Structure 1
Amino acid sequence: MAVPQLNAPLCASPPVPTVGIRHVDLPHNERFVVVGNHLAQHDRLSLTAIGLAVHIQSLRTGTRISVKKLAERFPEGEDRIADALNELERYGYLRRTRVRLPSGQLITTTESFNNPPAMRVRAPGQPVPVPRREAPPPSVEPPVPDPVAGPEPVPLRQQDGPRPRPTTEHPRPTPPRPVPAALLADLRRHDPRLLLSERDIGRLAPAVDAWLERGVAPDAVRRTLTAALPAGKLHRPAGLLRYRLTELLPPPLPAAPPSAPRPDPFQTCDACDLAFRAPEPGLCSACATAAVLMAS
């Protein structure tokens, strides 16, 4: 009979679990987008803004996005999506520009920047980033933007010591556009109950901008927002205004029909004083025919 050794362990110790997250990485061969850590680990963007930036960067060129379309796609709602878009625009990941078409219509173009730190440190003479070409570009292309402001680039890891903490600037919030902001701030002159905060004005300004892009005069927008208000105290004036701006948004103006050609003005015949239409003064058709016969 075998005698167990006295110095043998009675049982094997369990494996020590890994502390923190453990990554299980597999390569992507299709349908993927490259995202930098300057966005994924941004220390000032909200989680909603970071996720929305990743979604926008994964879209094909020419895809139309707006607060309303994104709210239909995601459950966050228009307010949180509008705030996230403002954050991305503030830190250089997004740029929205108003462009006038040859027909006179105003549209808003959106540009997505996947690497604002690299654009900030781009030396003069380097080639300008080329936009994606997965889909046909939109009908109106704004000029290539200058390098936008964004977070400072994260220094590379040093082998001889710990990585220094990145230093980031504190950019100022981007103010809303002058005309929509002034229109919303002026509503309290017409009704003191429509007193809005700066945050409410920043959220409602894109909706007012949509009305102006469709050819509605600022006075007409103001009348729509202030007419037939309910009696008593307004507990959420911003919500009421947002509902009217969204539900009462008029359709775009149709293209103007081509104008009919104007007829030639009346002229007086130099020979018989008969009135006839012609581009310039001279002889009527009968007198012109008689003059040709006499000359021949």
Structure 2
Amino acid sequence: MDTQHDIALTRALAGVPGPLPSSGVIHVAAPHPNRFTIVGNHLAQHAELSLTAIGLGVHIQSLPAGAKVGIKALTAHFTEGETTIASALRELEAHGYLHRTRVRLANGRMVTRTVFCNQPGAVLRGGAVVVPIPVVAAPVPVPEVTPVVPVVAAAVPEPVSGPTPVPAESHPPVRLPSRTAPKPPRPPLPQPRELTPELQRTASALLAGLRRHAKELVLSEDDVEELIPGVAAWLERDMHPDAIRHALTTELPQPPKYPAKIVKHRLTVLLPPPLPGTEDLAPPRRAAATPFQTCEGCDRAFRSHRPGHCRDCRAQYWEAA
């Protein structure tokens, strides 16, 4: 098979127009009849993006509209971890290829809207057009050819005796298992027994004023509205506002990229238990001790609820009887 590959590759190189370069890559380009994506060289040869960011940008551009491109979905598809994927997404965001914004749906739920621009400058010039990419392009009739390696149209593979190899396109793609185990769902934000207007007003003021004590914790109005029940649950458990503020602003990660998520996480995992009641703090009652009695036979003290004789005197009486 190696000899057949060498012969086919030699024929393919012979069909490349012009003189071959003495060093560097040589392109053997076969036309794509379907399932292809046009990628600009400004992305494929970007001088400032990392190789991971470039590859991730090409992958996202090849996906259909509506495909999941969050960190969890991409980590499940590739072998890179969440940290590497998140860093590559931030690179694409910094150079204008990726845009992620938080929007509120008609049902009130907050979601992240992701937009990928194949030409970032076109958005600023007003020349961008949103074109949904289909999952599979329309089928195009292709002559049945069984190439050993990708070759140019002018190259013809040498006939081979024996069974005809099966084209690689007929095999389903192999999906490698994810190296990241699924994480358990995060606990929900604490809720008070009753969100009174007083609790709501105090919680809202506390959340809005966090940036006075930690300039990194700048929350939007939607963030404050979402986190009010969590702070109200703390206040309902007799936590002083200063204690809540201290728990939310000390030892913050640097830099805090998602302030609202940090506050929500701390309100959830650091929630103190309710204060115990007076009955819970009362010491346990001891059983009443058996009183002392004086033996009527020998005047010796012994414990009993009724007067009478001690054990030794009772034994003597029983022996005498």
Q: Bigger relative contact order, structure 1 or 2, given CA contacts below 8 A and separation 6+?
A: 2
TM-score, structure 1 as length reference: 0.44
TM-score, structure 2 as length reference: 0.41
> Which is higher, the Rg of structure 1 or of structure 2?
2
